[in-house]
Amino acid sequence: MKPKEIDLGFKINEEKVMALDLPVEEMLIADLMNNAETCYLEKEGTDDWNLSPSELIQNFDKETTHARRVEGVDLSFPIVIYYFRDQWIILDGVHRFTKALIQKSPTIKVKKLPESLLSIIK
């Protein structure tokens, strides 16, 4: 079950998200830190939303599938975020966000999805 902090109430279409032509901007990692404790991922051998970026970093040697993905991502590509329940939530790019945390990057490239476009990505 998806954590309530990030549950929009519908499944997003990732292809539609990636096709959106949104401006790219730099955002402070500090403004996205709520995402470090949100369970976006699944621990090895499970099928549940039970692994946050912080936990992944702490258990990098045990979470090999996600660790490989984090190591392979390119931070020149922006993450996609949306404002939901008074905070910025990552819609796409959790592994890139995790890599930015590991590298202690002060900023990350983002595309901000306006609420008016949420219905388009269903």
> What proportions of the chain, in percent to the nearest 5, are helix, strand and coil?
40, 20, 40
DSSP H helices, the chain, are 14-19, 53-58, 64-72, 94-102
For the segment 101-112, what is each residue's pLDDT rounded down to a tens digit?
A: 999 999 999 999
Q: What is the pTM of this model?
A: 0.89
The Cα–Cα gap between 82 and 114 comes to 7
Domain boundaries, the chain: 32-115
**How high is the pLDDT of residue 15?**
82
CATH level 2 (architecture), domain 32-115: Alpha-Beta Complex (3.90)
For the segment 26-73, what is each residue's pLDDT rounded down to a tens digit?
A: 999 999 999 999 999 999 998 888 999 999 999 999 999 999 999 999
